[in-house]
Amino acid sequence: MKIVLDTNVLLVSLPTHSQYHPIFQALRQKVYDLFVTNEMLAEYEEQIGRRLGVARTDLQLVELLNMSNVHGNPILFLAADRTGFRR
């Protein structure tokens, strides 16, 4: 299954105690393919940073971009390579 996650859906699915956490768990288990754009990633980064803090933002984005079932355009992943993780 191919999907796009709204920022708010992603945010509520991150905490392990959330009733929506199965959405993020399914992504980790490769139940679906997530498609993102540079703009979406920027919004994810901004909103995660506001709600969870900068350190958590970096960890979440690194994890997200390292998943083989997360897809975006090459510019997005080239920018990610500069922070030490590969796509």
Q: What pLDDT does 85 receive?
A: 41
Mean pLDDT of the chain: 81
Does residue 21 register a pLDDT over 60? yes
Q: Stretch 42-59: mean pLDDT, rounded?
A: 79
Helices (H) and strands (E) in the chain, counts: 5, 3
Place 82 in a pLDDT band, splitting at 50, 70 and 90: very low
Q: Which of 1-5, 56-60, 76-80 has the lowest mean pLDDT?
A: 76-80
Q: Read off the pTM.
A: 0.74
Question: At 15, is the secondary structure helix, strand, or coil?
Answer: coil
Q: Is the pLDDT at 65 greater than 50, yes or no?
A: yes
